[in-house]
Amino acid sequence: METAATPGWTNEPATAVLVLADGTVLRGKGYGATGAVEAEVCFNTAITGYQEILTDPSYAAQIVTFTFPHIGNIGTNEEDLEDLAPARRVGAVGAIFKADITDPSNYRAAEHLDAWLKARGIVALCGIDTRALTAHIREHGMPNAVIAHDPGGSFDLDTLKARAAAWGGLVGADLAKDATSGQSSTWRQTPWEWDAGYGENQPDGDAIHIVALDFGVKRNILRLFSGLGARVTVLPATATADEVLGHEPDGIFLSNGPGDPAATGAYAVPTIRALVDSGLPVFGICLGHQMLALALGAKTVKMHQGHHGANHPVKDHTTGKVEIVSMNHGFAVEAASLPDGVTETHVSLFDGSNCGLAVDGKPVFSVQHHPEASPGPQDSHYLFRRFINLIRERRGEETLAER
């Protein structure tokens, strides 16, 4: 099936196409970088935070379809990036919008989204029926595809269809090796505050020390740890347990990231298992949650359409409360595979899938969602205090109020 060319709802020739692996061709108007790239297509239901979404390393090798129709109105800036090493451009490779990119109208805007997309190397397409594409994904799952942009409107559709059909997809793909910053570093930046911007933490010698394993970590996660007074050391995804413990941490964080957890787990799971056995508090998010589950003996599965948005309801069984959270994952922990001694702590109220676990009798827990909320609601910020409190208890210190 091929759709009519409808960029900007005019009769202009198409300058960008999305070619799905099943042969479907969607034509529209091109923005951002030129060229063509293979990736998996997902949809995101958030109404804010497009820059944070596009720079989230968990979106590596993905094309994000934005269901909110108006994108670009706050422009872009250098403060709202989420990848730790922006020069490496780890994050979404493509973006799809319903309407033309909106001109920026925000006091923080430094650059038009189109120019930013070009500089970032992201291919963008607008002028298509994003509701229809979202419905297609819901019915058939997240497809492999090629997104292409040529200002001259010249496309070899047969070649693009062959590329889309031949691309291997995300199952079996270790993308964390490319998403990790790849080196040891210290993080000091604290969360943004109106209207002072970001601050800087200057921890003293008695400060809690957290070592974060970087599988594609988001900046706002590290900011929240730093904002609670912790000294944060970031290590690459391939760090061994001995290297982690050699930094003498009080707690260990397993970050978010892209790709198949089983593939990254080939080298990360033995490390995580040793870190759990160390007795130190461990906290995992997203990919870190999935690989912690693998280390404990559970299984992960590829999801049909994944969870991508900032309006997902999740229930915390430990408190009985429901929180609205930010999600971004295409793999999930199979709840039925959790072994004895591991408790499911959080569950999605959309589809019942697993969203959290804790190890009985140990200071070890993780969640599937993105509690740092960048973008999204801040309902889950308490999880960072929960982790800090596990460390404080181990150190014999007074704990913080979770909320």
Among positive and negative, which fits the CA dihedral 301, 217, 68, 349? positive
370 in active site: yes
Q: Which of 136, 307, 370, 381 is catalytic?
A: 370
Residue type at 208 in one-letter notation: I
Residue type at 212 in one-letter notation: A
Taking the C-alpha atoms of residue 322 and residue 83, their distance in angstroms, rounded to an integer, is 29
Strands, DSSP E only, in 237-336?
251-254, 282-285, 300-316, 321-333
Tokens 């079996």 sit at which residue? 172
Q: Which of 301, 291, 306 is nearest to 335 (CA)?
A: 301
**Which residues fall within 8 angstroms of residue 270, CB to CB, at 6 or more apart?**
241, 295
42 in active site: no
Residue type at 102 in one-letter notation: T
Q: Bridge partners of 126?
A: 29, 97
Q: Which of 270, 217, 213 is nearest to 244 (CA)?
A: 213
372 in active site: yes
Query: Is-contact 49 186, C-beta < 8 A?
Result: no
**Angle, vertex CA 334, rays to CA 20 and CA 259, nearest 5:** 45
Q: Which of 42, 126, 286, 355 is catalytic?
A: 286
Taking the C-alpha atoms of residue 260 and residue 163, their distance in angstroms, rounded to an integer, is 21
Calculate helix-pair angle for 287-296, 261-277, nearest 10 degrees. Answer: 60
Q: Which of 38, 40, 52, 372 is catalytic?
A: 372
Bond before 340 cis per omega within 30 degrees = no
Tokens of 372: 């740092």
Query: Is-contact 253 209, C-beta < 8 A?
Result: no
**Which residues fall within 8 angstroms of residue 206, CB to CB, at 6 or more apart?**
none
Give the ranges where 190-278 is alpha helix by DSSP (H). 219-227, 241-245, 261-277
Active site residues: 286, 370, 372
